A and B are shown apart, each in its own frame.
Chain A
Amino acid sequence: MLFTNSISFFLKISPIDFFTGSQWDPETKYSMVPLLVSTSFVAVGSMIIAVPLGILTAAYLSELAPRKLQMFLKPVIEMLAAIPSVAIGFLGIVLVGPGLAQLFNSQNGLNALNGSILLAIMALPTIVTISEDAINAVPKSHREAAIALGANKWETLFKVTLPAALPGLIAAVMLGLGRALGETMTVLMATGNAAAIPKDFFDSVRTITATIAIEMGEVPYQTTHYFALFAIAALLFLITLAVNFIGEYFANRLRKFHA
């Protein structure tokens, strides 16, 4: 369904324009470049924030935290995962946006950075949970061997345990990235939605998901514009599928390795 509609689009608009043009301007120009750049901006930004935080938190949870604290922290992370995306987007408007505007003296805080921060929050639970599983799956004998060789706790963690858990950590990052790429409501509400190629993190951006959400409600059925939205959805589908497959591949390797 997704793809038949996309094919109808490419019958009308040449794929070359779609992949190389620089403007998304419904009615005349359909190029996914600005949208794709926006999407990658926000997603990469969120990963820069979420990956270190997520992995370090997972390391703390599985290696250092006392059992009682673990019992408390795990539900906290699950609760964070349970918050609906609109509620996080709402906070982007009322809290993070004004905060960023004040901090950087800009007009409003609805830009790529805002979206990245919020998406980082949304991707964190995924990253923490999967990384923690990966770190827990590293056999105890690895750690004991390192300590027997005279390594201290930190050297063991950073030079033995984390590298051994690497495939699992990559899987965690990929699945978190998949979540960030596909998130709609948060970016729709918090990034300002200007369909131009962004230059830096303080520019307003409009991701693929947000474009679909904004424009789908208004287009007449079976028009070029309608098919165009299906085409970018198909593109997004393929991207998330690829990202998830990579994550899945590393997760499977981990499973086999420890089985």
Chain B
Amino acid sequence: MIKKRLFNTFNWIILCGSTLTVCMFLGVILWDIFSKGFSSVSWDFVTLFPTDGMTKGGILPAIVGTVILTFITTLFSVPFGVACAIYLNEYARPSVLTNIIRASIRNLAGIPSIIYGLFGLALFVQALHLGTSVLSAGLTLGLLSLPYIITTTEEALKRIPNSLREATLALGVTQVETIKDVVLPKALPGILTGVILTLSRAAGETAPILFTGVAFYINGVSASLNQEFMALPYHLYMLSTQHNAIEQVRPLAYGTATVLILLVFSLNIVAFYVRFKNRTQD
């Protein structure tokens, strides 16, 4: 009896223990970065240009670079992704072909991001002669985001009951109008959640932009599409591994990490909120 009870307690401990360990990982990560990072984050830090060989000053160009980059990614991947999902879910009849398309999309999502980087380098930078620029990098990230956007949008469209579509069709509305005026508005919160989560992922990616246009330092804020740019994740990478005064810039690295994580988390929280609101409405 005692043996059995011990066994039960043991089981309970390993299950709870592993869950706690997983939570602890998040706790340790956030605590370490935030506790050391917040002291270097200030208004000046986010609004000033880096000075003195990156050892002082702020990270404004990196923030602006990341925002512009994410914007280009959005412009490229959202229209294509949503259109693709609408085709797959609303128009295409289930067939071997659509199954193959879906399987390829899922596999595209599993391709390592560095391979997207190489692909972007070969296609956008060299074959299309866009050079290493914010445009090339944005398009590369757009390619990376497409599979996620298609999958999440399709999931959102699937949740719209068919009776709704049939009802509007019975009223004599064409299919295009049904999609435009009934299905899409109803699926919008779901699509939005997917898009925001995907973009938050894209904003934190480093590997795909390494060779397609990111730079450690540029003069001023990148203004045109064919210039190189600075980005937060790359800035953090350079500050923590490549800088010649690593110990000296450590506070700046912590600060950059804090800003990056806050940016990604705020996007996530917006997405959670949209999803939560959508669920409570139903």
Residues of A within 8 A of B (CB): 1-2, 5, 52-54, 56-57, 59-61, 64-65, 73, 75-80, 82-91, 93-95, 121, 124, 128, 152-154, 175, 178-179, 181-185, 188-189, 209, 212-213, 216-217, 221, 229-230, 233, 236-237, 240-241, 243-245, 248
Expressed in whole angstroms, the minimum distance between the Cβ of B208 and any Cβ of chain A is: 9
A79 touches B240 (CB 8 A): no
B contact residues, range? 35 or more
Q: How far is the CA of A124 from the CA of B19 in the complex (A)?
A: 11
Q: Contacts A73-B23, A84-B260, A91-B29 given; indicate if A56 touches B14 (C-beta within 8 A).
A: yes
Are B18 and A56 neighbours in the complex by a CB distance under 8 Å? yes
B225: Cβ under 8 A from any A Cβ: no
- A64–B14 Cα distance when bound, in Å, is 12
Most chain B CB within 10 A, of A73, A90, A182, A245, is at: A90
CB distance from A174 to the nearest CB of B (A): 10
9-residue interface stretch from B38-46, B120-128, B155-163? B120-128
B22 touches A128 (CB 8 A): yes
B26 & A184 in contact (Cβ 8 Å cutoff): no
* Residues on A with beta carbons closer than 8 Å to the beta carbon of B11: 154
**Among all A-B residue pairs, the 9 with the closest Cβ atoms:** A182-B112, A84-B204, A56-B18, A244-B110, A184-B207, A60-B15, A184-B114, A86-B233, A60-B19
Interface mask (B124-155 → A, CB under 8 Å = 1, otherwise 0) = 00110000000000000000000000000000
Whole-angstrom distance from the CB of A118 to the nearest CB of chain B?
Answer: 10
Is B1 on the interface with A (CB-CB < 8 A)?
Answer: no
B91 CB-CB contact with A under 8 Å: no
Give Cα distance in the complex from A212 to B206, angstroms. Answer: 13
Question: Smallest Cβ distance from A78 to chain B, in angstroms?
Answer: 7
- The listed residue (A181, A189, A243) touching B241 by CB distance below 8 A is A189
Given A86-B236, A216-B210, A154:B8 Cβ within 8 A: yes
Give every chain A residue within 8 A of B7 (Cβ-Cβ): 154
A175 to B107, CA, bound (A): 10
Q: Mark B232-255, 1 if CB is under 8 A from A, else 0.
A: 011011001100000000100100
**Shortest Cβ distance from A239 into B: residue:** B112
* B19-A91 in contact (CB<8A): no
8 Å CB contact of A77 from B22, B201, B204:
B22
Partner of A57 from B19, B118, B257, B264 at Cβ < 8 Å: B19
Known: A121-B25, A154-B11, A248-B107. A86 touches B121 (CB 8 A): no
Measured CA separation A169–B118 after assembly (Å): 32
Cα–Cα distance between A158 and B269 once the two chains are bound (Å): 36
Q: A1-B119, A90-B240, A94-B240 are in contact. Are A184 and B260 (CB under 8 A)?
A: no
**What are 16 A-B pairs at a CB distance below 8 A?**
A59-B15, A65-B19, A80-B25, A82-B200, A82-B204, A83-B26, A83-B264, A84-B264, A87-B260, A95-B28, A95-B32, A184-B113, A184-B206, A184-B207, A216-B118, A237-B111
